[in-house]
Structure 1
Amino acid sequence: MTIAGSDSGGGAGIQADLKTFAFHRVHGTTALTCITAQNTLGVTRVDALSPDAVTAQIQTVIDDIGIQAAKTGMLLNCEIIAAVADHLTRRPIQNLVVDPVMVSRAGAQLIDDDAVAMLRDRLIPQASIVTPNRYEAQLLSGLAIESLAHMQQAAKKIYALGPKAVLVKGGGMTGELRGVDVWFDGTRLETLRTQTIDTPNTHGTGCTLSAAIAANLALGYPPLTATANAKDYLTEALQYALNLGGGQGPVGHFFPLLTPLTDCH
Structure 2
Amino acid sequence: MVANLLTIAGSDPSGGAGIQADLKAFAALGTYGMSVVTGLTAQNTRGVRGIHPVPARFVADQLEAVLDDVRVDAVKIGMLGTAEVVRAVAEVLAARRPPYVVLDPVMVAKSGDRLLAANAVRELRGALLPVVDLITPNLPEAADLLGVPEAADEAQMREQLASLMRLGPAVLLKGGHLTGPECPDLLALDASGEPVRLTAPRVATRNTHGTGCTLSSAIAALRPQRGGWAEAVADAKRYLTAALAAADGLDVGSGHGPVHHFHEWWK
TM-score scaled by length of structure 2 = 0.92
Deviation at residue 105 of structure 1 after TM alignment: 4.8
Three-state SS of the structure 2 residue aligned to 1:246 is: coil
For 2:171, the equivalent position in structure 1 comes to: 166
Identity of aligned residues (%): 44
Distance in structure 1 (CA, Å) of the matches to 2:146 and 2:156: 10
Three-state SS of the structure 2 residue aligned to 1:252 is: coil
Deviation at residue 142 of structure 1 after TM alignment: 3.8
For 2:222, the equivalent position in structure 1 comes to: 216
Deviates more, 1:239-248 or 1:125-134: 239-248
Deviates more, 1:207-216 or 1:34-43: 34-43
For 1:201, the equivalent position in structure 2 comes to: 207
For 2:255, the equivalent position in structure 1 comes to: 247
Distance in structure 1 (CA, Å) of the matches to 2:114 and 2:184: 22
Does the 8 Å CA contact 2:12/2:40 hold for their aligned counterparts?
yes
Does residue 1:56 correspond to 2:64, yes or no?
Answer: no
Three-state SS of the structure 1 residue aligned to 2:200 is: coil
For 1:111, the equivalent position in structure 2 comes to: 116
Distance in structure 1 (CA, Å) of the matches to 2:174 and 2:25: 19
Does the 8 Å CA contact 2:16/2:257 hold for their aligned counterparts?
yes
Does the 8 Å CA contact 2:45/2:257 hold for their aligned counterparts?
yes
Distance in structure 2 (CA, Å) of the matches to 1:125 and 1:153: 21
Gaps in structure 1 of 5+ consecutive residues: 260-265
Deviation at residue 218 of structure 1 after TM alignment: 2.4
Does the 8 Å CA contact 2:79/2:115 hold for their aligned counterparts?
no
Q: Which has the higher strand share?
A: 2
Does residue 1:140 correspond to 2:142, yes or no?
Answer: no
Distance in structure 1 (CA, Å) of the matches to 2:194 and 2:58: 39
Distance in structure 2 (CA, Å) of the matches to 1:35 and 1:243: 24
Q: How many residues align?
A: 257
The one-letter code matched in structure 2 to 1:245 is G
For 2:42, the equivalent position in structure 1 comes to: 37
Deviates more, 1:140-149 or 1:12-21: 140-149
1:218-237 mapped onto 2 (5 Å cutoff): 218-237=224-243
TM-score scaled by length of structure 1 = 0.92
Gaps in structure 2 of 5+ consecutive residues: 1-5
In the superposition, relative to structure 1, how do residues 199 and 122 fare at CA in structure 2: closer, same or farther (>3 Å)? same
Does the 8 Å CA contact 1:24/1:216 hold for their aligned counterparts?
yes
